Amino acid sequence: MRAATKRRLRFFIGVLALIAAGGALLGSVLGRASLVNALVSTVDALLILGIIAAIEIFLPRTRVGSNPRTSPEVTVARTSCDG
């Protein structure tokens, strides 16, 4: 395994730990049975945000994705602040 891949993997595991902690905290605050809701929220957060984090970290950068001005998903609104 290359050094860059190891670095990305360590970063991904750290991100997953933060996601799990945030999901557990949110689940325990919002629910009645705190342990069950914390566990459910942790699993939900890991499934949803873990997939997004893996895509962001491990998939290769594309030319379109590296420049936000050429990205078709991004719309930039230009406003005038002349008064």
How is the chain split into domains, by residue range? 3-70
Q: How confident is the model at residue 60 (pLDDT cuts 50, 70, 90)?
A: confident
Task: Name every residue whose Cβ is closer than 8 Å to that of residue 41 and which is 6 or more positions away in sequence.
Answer: 23, 24, 26, 27, 28, 30, 31
Q: How confident is the model at residue 58 (pLDDT cuts 50, 70, 90)?
A: confident
pTM for the model: 0.65
pLDDT tens digits, 7-24 = 999 999 999 999 998 888
- What percent of the chain stands above pLDDT 70? 71
Higher-confidence residue of 20 and 29: namely 20
